[in-house]
Amino acid sequence: MIVLHYLQFIILSICINSFTLYIYLVYYTDLFSSALFQDIEPEYDFIIVGSGTAGSVIAHRIATETNYTFIVLEAGAKGNVLFEIPVLGPLLHGSIYDWQYETVPQENACYAFNSKKCKLFQGKIIGGSSKLNNMVHVRGNISHYVDWFHGKFSHAFFQKQFEFIENNILNIDEIQYQSEMTNAVLEAAKKLGYNEIDLESANGFKRSKVSQKHGGRWSSSDNLDMKHIVTNVLVEKVLVKENVAYGVELLKSNRKMEVFARKGVILSSGTYNTPKLLQLSGIGPSELLKSLDIPIIVDLPVGKNLQDHVTTGLDLILFNKSLSVSIDNMLNLFHAANYFINGKGPFTTPGCEVVGFMSTTNAETPDLQFMVLPVGISSDKGSHFKKSLSVNETVWNNYFAKTYDWHTATILPIVLHPKSKGQVLIQSKDPKDAPLIDPKYLSVKDDIVTLIRGLKLVKQFIETDAMRNLGASINQMPFPGCHNYEIFSDKYWECYIKQLTLTSYHPVGTCFMGLPYANTTVVDTSFKVVGLEKLFVADGSVLPTLPNGNINAAIAMMASIFFDINIKTKTDAKLSRTNICSKYEFIHELVHSICVL
């Protein structure tokens, strides 16, 4: 078997390295093209920083519903048709299309990874992290959104917003291909008393709804006309004069430029990069800015309140036979042909086949999510996941490598509302330096308690007849560093969680949205940065708390609300004014422009 494993490692390594070379070819082709052929005008009505889910939703609606001029500035490069193959998504993790961020060393978590740092995959590509994620579409608990806006909008309002983006902006589809594990988990859930649910995350289970089209990955950026996007541009600072944002300073092809915005600058760079940009611009905690000799424009808690869906449990399920979604499937030319011709087959797998929501305290609102992954990280024999996750050698050799003779899979128990909160702070005045990201995983004991309950539930699922009939069993190899505890005891699980701490890559909260007079608020409920005019934040960073489930749908919905209350209403007012006195509109715009600049 050792020879077979070594052969598999060689074959997979050749395939992965070949794809990596292709990634570099695509990236540098776009880098060269953007330097030669992408021009930036000196002024637009709106500047959007970032082409992720939020920035793309806003840009699409501006393009299709208004006559405003705008530009989307993206630090990453264009994608490629091969990047849209769902099963290849993990190969972009840690690549040049990833910001390659990681946490600072964690005190209570991430022990199994090099230097006690967890990797934080974030898309540096048109489409942002929606080009690297599991494509799972979950609305979450709508009552939370009502709370975020302090009752400004009703439950029915948010339902209509979701219906609008699902019918007009996003492309949501049924999962195209499932392993045998899907039906087994759903049957187990039914036996354990859980109901089948719809898009909103009440207690229960469902097959994943995914953001795909014809079996391929689909992102809100796919709506955009490329003429509105400039790639490989690093925005270094927001330009502010007399508390009015009037443009940005950027670096393009090693040349600094200033681009001006008549009506507004919209930051949609994500939960890590938006606070970084604000702090570089002098908008953030005064003590941090003073320490770096950055002139203070507004003293705000930018970068605080970082929250993330923390999880654990990789390769905790062992099968005595291979499932129909496996690494071997990805080397099958028939499956490749089926994908390109029909948009079907295992190449369409989103990675997560089933999602479930449950309460570990018997409450009506779930505090735990399950994500069912039919393939474990050890299945690639150490050719990619070991490096991309930065698993240390001891852990890999003494745990994951010992499962090579099995088919491994995972049910991730995810803490939906962690009490541990961290921060994102710049470490220098250099825009090219990565921010210091400290999520403080598991710093509050309650999060560990919830995960222990979650792991016990995972064990219950594995021990059901539905899973056992499929050949499933729980991985009973003691995790390195936890040998002194009785296996599967609470003390063992606590040790296990601190060792094998994972993120679901759902960071939010660093530009807290709230009431303007609250000391935690960065943006108000109209998405405007407190104390400044014409500067807005619309991305995951404004979410005050985590939604119940994957965050992409919530971010798209919030971006659509941003457009409605900040651009659409003003567009409607302008049209009304034009109908009354259209011949004087140019005078109004001229005076407006002079007053701003």
Annotated binding site, which residues? 133-136, 235, 540
Contact 374, 2 (CB under 8 A): no
How would DSSP label each residue in 190-229?
A: HHTTPPB--SS--SEEEEPEEEEETTEE--GGGGS-GGGE
How far does the chain reach from its first CA to its final CA, in angstroms? Answer: 71
Q: How many H helices and E strands in the chain? A: 16, 24
Residue type, 270: G
Which of 312, 309, 308, 367 lies closest to 498, judged by CA? 312
Q: Tokens 């039919």, residue? A: 374
What tokens were used for 391? Answer: 């698993």
Would you state the structure tokens that stand for residue 502, as one six-digit string?
A: 């994972």
CB 89 within 8 A of CB 123: no
DSSP state of 586: H
Residue with tokens 């953030």: 284
DSSP 120: E
Q: Residue ranges for the binding site for FAD?
A: 133-136, 235, 540
Report d(CA 154, CA 347) in Å as an integer: 40
Q: In angstroms, what CA-CA distances link 374 with 327, 346, 469?
A: 11, 11, 16
Burial of 156 (0-12, 13-18, 19+ CB in 10 A): exposed
- Could you tell me the sign of the dihedral formed by the alpha carbons of 113, 114, 116, 120, in that order? negative
Q: What is the DSSP string of 323-340?
A: -SSSTGGGG-HHHHHHHH
The dihedral through the CA atoms of 478, 479, 485, 487 has a sign that is negative
139, 118 Cβ separation under 8 angstroms: no
Amino acid type, 122: Q
Helix axes 585-596, 569-581, angle to 10 degrees: 130
Rounded Cα–Cα distance for residues 559 and 541 (Å): 12
408 closest CA partner among 466, 475, 478: 475
Rounded Cα–Cα distance for residues 102 and 122 (Å)? 10
Closest CA relative to residue 303, chosen from 434, 421, 424, 433: 424
Q: Are 305 and 546 in contact (CB under 8 A)?
A: no
Rounded Cα distance between 157 and 149, Å, is 12
Reference 355, options 497, 88, 553; nearest CA is 553
Report the alpha-carbon distance of residue 421 to residue 538 in Å, rounded. 21
**Residue 76 to residue 525: CA distance in whole angstroms:** 29
| Beta strand residue intervals within 475-567, DSSP E | 502-503, 535-537
